[in-house]
Structure 1
Amino acid sequence: MRWTRAVAWVAVAALWLACGPVVLLAAVAAMVHPRTRGRLRVDRPDRRTTLVGVAGLVLLLGAVWFVPDGRLPVPPGGGAWVTPGYTGRPVSPQPLPGEPDRPGPLGLSVEVDSGWYGAEHCGHLLPDTHERLLALCTSRSGARLKVLDPRTLRPVATASLPDPCADVPPATGTGEEVVVATGDRRLLHVTTTDGADAPAVVTQRAVDLGRALPAGACVVSVAVDPVGRTWFVTRAGEVGVVAAEGEPSVLALGESVSQPLAVDRDGAYVTTAEAVHRVVTRAGAPLETWRSAYETGSGRKPGQRDAGSGSGVTLLEGGLLALTDNANPRMHVVVLRAVDGSQVCRQEVFEDDASATEAALTAVGGTGVVVTNGHGWTGAWRGVLGRRPPGGVARVDVVDGSCATTWTSEEVAPTSGTTLSRATGLLYAWTKRRSWLGVDAWYLTALDARTGRTAFAARGGTGPWAGDAGSSVTIGPGGTAFVGTRAGLVRVVDGTRGLRD
């Protein structure tokens, strides 16, 4: 009898991996019948069955806590046979004008790998100068900065950080140095070294913000401008600046902030829940030069963390800025003049009562931006059983002083926005596909930046832990795309080129 029961559970597990949650639903329905329960003796588990179950749970917890990071793939969520592993076709690169950058995958014999980091979510990824990845990862036990081998996805160096006050510790970097804001009101300037061929994470400088910020202040964004000044802003709207070797100086805006800063040579743009503020420095201290309010709508929409919030500012060519507001019934892409904050134009996007975003806009084509729709994405549970929100992706361009929608796409990238590779002319997004069989399938999807057409999509994972939780696609060395998921890292690369194990 016990062998019958064991074979039944193994069969259910195998069918779940192949076909997804529908198998579990069918199994639960079958258990309702008394004859099934009696045959499998699920109402009278013996000591052996109990011990096997406990042992399985212990092994699972041991895999989470004791197996080294990256040694195992991210656990599958089921449905591998009933969701496509790849759709579309390979494309040839169609470079866009602008500064050269890293090429992303082109969809040719795509290979997908993953590394499991237990319960850690790596929300910030950044290639360093040694062709490795820096990953800022968080879990309930705190935050850690990892140096990852991009081939194996295994950490080669790790440093623990003070507990963050934000869900994801704000960080910025150039590949040579990373600046991380910690929960104890400090800015850590961190670099990687290779002394004696052993990579290490080294804190080069720690800036104490305690004298400039009140107790309990939480830094939500940091950015380093082109002349080396470090800007930061708190959730309560205190914006500050630190010169290369100076002390922090702070200006209180009096409005809450949840969006990232944007910086240029002259200062910073701060997007609060009510307006965009231009802040520059005078004698080393921050000074506000203009404020431009935007429509905040009727409050927080489904899929937003903060009432009235749209996206942060994205810098465009020609002295222009772009952001999204929170207007009803549709949000707008709003374009402002950087010199004084005056409005150039605005354009409605997506559908009535189904438009919202907090993801960053992607600058493309000089004076164009790409926006994703996150309306209705209220957490991982929103994607359970193959569901997804309305979604959509749109490109808006400024043409002769007016805003116009260039193209729209029905792809759903609910939290992370898009990433542009000018070298390939493609936009990359982590998208959710609807499944009538209840499979939660996530894909690296490539869109033509000029037309919005979907070039290809490669399945990166299934299950709720395959969601990106706001981590954008990062283009790394060798034409590789990386995405930090809820439980690790996914790597997508063309099979005929790129990094090899």
Structure 2
Amino acid sequence: MRLALPARAAVIAAATLLALTAATPPADGAADGFGPLPPHNPYAGPDGTATMHGDTGSSDATPLPGPGAGPLTSRRVALASACPTVLVGSDGYPVALCTPILGQMPTVHLLDPATGDPIAELAVAKGSLLGGVYAYLDQLDRLVLVDGERSLLRIGHRRTAAGGPELYVASSLPLAGAVPEGDSVTGVSPDWQGRVWFATAGGVVGTADERTGRVRSVSLPAGERIANSISTAPGGTAVATDHATYLLTADADGTPRIAWRQPYDRGPGRKPGQLSPGTGSTPTFFGPATGTDYLTVVDNAAPTVNLLVYRASTGAPVCSVPVLRAGGSGSENSPVAAGNSVFVASTYGYPYPKLPEGAGASVPASGDFTGGLSRVDVRADGSGCDLVWDNRTRSAAVPRLSTADGLIRTVLRQPVIPFTTATSLLDPYYYAEIDPATGSTVRTRYLGAGFLYDTLQMVGSIAPGGVVYQGTVTGVLRVANG
């Protein structure tokens, strides 16, 4: 039984600093120049809210508009957990996948769409720091993830006999035969045949067909590891290891096959503000014709990283463009892309409170969080790419582009002492809207200051009704007109 949406409730307002006063955002339709988003996956939930990166192509773009030009309100929903994944189903209910500060047992929260308050929760088996972070909603609004026991779960929500909401495990399929003991699944995504693709930290890529129970897998070259999620399109599944970018397809029985492989400059080591060596990108499909014409990642070259664009069907290079030159040149974030345009945010020097096991020392040993945001456009004839603008925006979240209202939304982490690059536990955070044509910040709203509001380079989701849900290290922020 689907849950009915309750009436909208009032939310709590916070103060705005004079130095970052609001400006009127561009009018609706300002994003008309951005081409199609990746095609809808019939085995995923609504476009824009079905995956951490919006869709199974990981565009980090959405067809939904964000808050309008009126006054903004913000509300912190305290969950005592880091919440990197907040998705919204076709029924309007947000579902958050969080890791509690104490115990670190991954927990799924069903949220009230009117307030963001938790109304049901379900804990799942604990895995690694990265395991279980990436999940998606299927076409029935069930959360699909792999737990710490290496089982593929579908978690639905319904009303109990007493009338209250509950989360429950609708199905479970063991993957232990394909995922080695001690390994963990870092990403899952459905393909157009209804199979679930998965990738592990140890470099295993596989498919699971729950209709037959068949699980098939392949190991990528020895020594290659996967620290980010995967992306699916009608033409195949994209995976980025710490050495190369891949496109894989599947045989009739689901056995993965490598269609192409492109190595990249992995640099001398993990940069400050990254969680693993090599690229920090979940591969992003984008393009002006089908929405999946191209595939892009950011390499780890030193001192300046490059945006790499390939033709998705063949792996042929389209361009390599130095980005994030004005600020810190390193990124843990997936590129944002739509049409011919790609946006890259810097995470160089971001002070993560904890790193994954095996992350190793960074090279250099430390660095300031200077910020950085770049836009690159692929030429109309596909002959190359051009850097459109490059600035020092201090984005503390993965940006999200709305093709409906023509704005990029993110959270800014500003220094306590203006005009410095230092970070502290007292830093203030601001919801921000950015004009993609110029890179200028056009509107902000103060969210709060200190550790409780740290968005930790996590992704915000735009829900129907112009509501933004943004994960933090201690819960979820809800931003809306009010």
Q: TM-score surpassing 0.5?
A: yes
Q: Is the contact between residue 331 and residue 355 of structure 1 (CA under 8 Å) also seen in structure 2?
A: yes
Q: Show CA shifts across 1:266-292 (max 9, x none).
A: 431110000011211113211112111
User: Residues 190, 177 of structure 1: CA spacing in aligned structure 2 closer, same or farther, 3 A cutoff?
Assistant: same
Q: Distance in 1 between matches of 2:143 and 2:236?
A: 19
Q: Distance in 2 between matches of 1:298 and 1:90?
A: 41
Q: Is the contact between residue 325 and residue 390 of structure 2 (CA under 8 Å) also seen in structure 1?
A: no
Deviation at 1:107, TM superposition (A): 4.2
Q: Could you say which structure has the greater relative contact order, defined with CA pairs below 8 angstroms and 6 or more residues apart?
A: 2
Tell me which residue corresponds to 2:158. 193
Q: Is the contact between residue 131 and residue 148 of structure 2 (CA under 8 Å) also seen in structure 1?
A: no
Q: Distance in 1 between matches of 2:112 and 2:20?
A: 25
Tell me which residue corresponds to 1:347. 321
Name the aligned partner's letter for residue 416 of structure 2. S
Deviation at 1:380, TM superposition (A): 4.9
Tell me which residue corresponds to 1:121. 82
Deviation at 1:181, TM superposition (A): 1.2
Deviation at 1:244, TM superposition (A): 4.2
Q: How many residues align?
A: 411
**Aligned runs of 1:71-470 on 2, under 5 Å?**
86-97=21-32, 98=36, 101-117=63-79, 119-139=80-100, 140-141=102-103, 142-167=105-130, 169=132, 170-174=134-138, 176-194=141-159, 197-246=163-212, 247-253=214-220, 254=222, 255-283=224-252, 284-317=254-287, 318=289, 319-351=293-325, 354-364=328-338, 366-380=339-353, 389-399=369-379, 400=381, 401-414=383-396, 416-436=397-417, 439-470=426-457
Q: Is the contact between residue 26 and residue 406 of structure 2 (CA under 8 Å) also seen in structure 1?
A: no
Q: Distance in 1 between matches of 2:327 and 2:165?
A: 50
Tell me which residue corresponds to 1:5. none
Q: Distance in 1 between matches of 2:18 and 2:152?
A: 44
Q: Show CA shifts across 1:202-237 (max 9, x none).
A: 222111011122211111111112332101111010
Matched, 1:492 2:479: yes
Q: Is the contact between residue 327 and residue 346 of structure 2 (CA under 8 Å) also seen in structure 1?
A: no
Secondary structure of 2:106's counterpart equals strand
Q: Is the contact between residue 468 and residue 484 of structure 1 (CA under 8 Å) also seen in structure 2?
A: yes
Deviation at 1:352, TM superposition (A): 8.1
Q: Distance in 2 between matches of 1:297 and 1:107?
A: 43
Q: Show CA shifts across 1:114-140 (max 9, x none).
A: 1111x2111110112221110111113
Question: Gaps (5+ residues) in structure 2?
Answer: 1-10, 38-61, 355-366, 419-423
Q: Is the contact between residue 334 and residue 344 of structure 2 (CA under 8 Å) also seen in structure 1?
A: yes
With 422-431 and 344-353 compared, the bigger mean Cα shift is at 344-353
Secondary structure of 1:87's counterpart equals coil
Deviation at 1:493, TM superposition (A): 0.9
Q: Distance in 2 between matches of 1:84 and 1:480?
A: 25
User: Residues 353, 126 of structure 1: CA spacing in aligned structure 2 closer, same or farther, 3 A cutoff?
Assistant: closer
**Aligned runs of 1:34-49 on 2, under 5 Å?**
none
Name the aligned partner's letter for residue 287 of structure 1. R
Q: Which has the higher helix share?
A: 1
Q: Distance in 1 between matches of 2:232 and 2:199?
A: 12
Q: Is the contact between residue 371 and residue 417 of structure 1 (CA under 8 Å) also seen in structure 2?
A: no
Q: Distance in 2 between matches of 1:81 and 1:338?
A: 44
Normalized against structure 1, the TM-score is what? 0.77
Name the aligned partner's letter for residue 285 of structure 1. T
Deviation at 1:477, TM superposition (A): 2.5
Q: Distance in 2 between matches of 1:307 and 1:353?
A: 20
Q: Distance in 2 between matches of 1:268 and 1:344?
A: 19
Normalized against structure 2, the TM-score is what? 0.80
Q: Distance in 2 between matches of 1:300 and 1:346?
A: 20
Q: Show CA shifts across 1:357-388 (max 9, x none).
A: 01111112x1211100111113259xxxxx96
Tell me which residue corresponds to 2:8. none
Name the aligned partner's letter for residue 215 of structure 2. P
Deviation at 1:195, TM superposition (A): 5.0
Question: Gaps (5+ residues) in structure 1?
Answer: 1-72, 382-386, 496-501
Q: Distance in 2 between matches of 1:81 and 1:417?
A: 22
With 348-357 and 314-323 compared, the bigger mean Cα shift is at 348-357
Q: Distance in 1 between matches of 2:448 and 2:262?
A: 42
Two-structure CA RMSD over aligned residues (Å) = 2.4
Q: How high is the sequence identity, in percent, across the aligned residues?
A: 28
Q: Is the contact between residue 192 and residue 202 of structure 1 (CA under 8 Å) also seen in structure 2?
A: yes
Tell me which residue corresponds to 1:40. none
Q: Distance in 2 between matches of 1:194 and 1:102?
A: 28
Secondary structure of 2:176's counterpart equals coil
Deviation at 1:486, TM superposition (A): 1.2
Deviation at 1:94, TM superposition (A): 2.6
Q: Distance in 2 between matches of 1:372 and 1:133?
A: 26
Secondary structure of 1:239's counterpart equals strand
Deviation at 1:168, TM superposition (A): 5.7
Q: Which has the larger radius of gyration?
A: 1
Name the aligned partner's letter for residue 463 of structure 1. G
User: Residues 430, 81 of structure 1: CA spacing in aligned structure 2 closer, same or farther, 3 A cutoff?
Assistant: closer
